[in-house]
Amino acid sequence: MFKVLGDETRCRVFSLLLQGELNVGEIAKQLGISQSLVSHHLHDLRMVGLVKQRREGVRIYYSIEKSSLKVIIKALKEGADNI
C-alpha cells in the first residue's frame, strides 16, 4: 500500500480523491495529465484497495476506500510508536 503511494502522481490522485468522488476526466484536468495515465494510476490504487469505483451511465467515478484509511492510520501509529 505504501509502495503504491510512494509514486508522486498516485499520491496526488489519492489526495484529490480525499476531497471527494471524481471521474478520470476530472482528475486528469486538475492534475494536467492524460486520462490514460490517470487510469493507469487508478488501477494501481484499486489493486491495493485504496480506491473504489462506481459506474453512473457511461462514466466511472472513483473515491477513497474508507477501510483503507484505517489501515494507513494504524500503520502510521505503529511506526510512530517504534521511533
Whether 83 has a pLDDT exceeding 70, the answer reads no
Per the model's pLDDT, the better-predicted residue between 82 and 48 turns out to be: 48
pTM as predicted: 0.83
Name residues whose C-beta falls within 8 Å of residue 79's C-beta, 6 or more positions apart in sequence: none
d(CA 68, CA 71): 5
CATH code given to domain 2-81? 1.10.10.10
pLDDT in tens, 26-35: 999 999 999 9
| Residue ranges covered by each domain of the chain | 2-81
Find residue 62's DSSP bridge partners: 22, 53
- Residue-level pLDDT at 4: 83
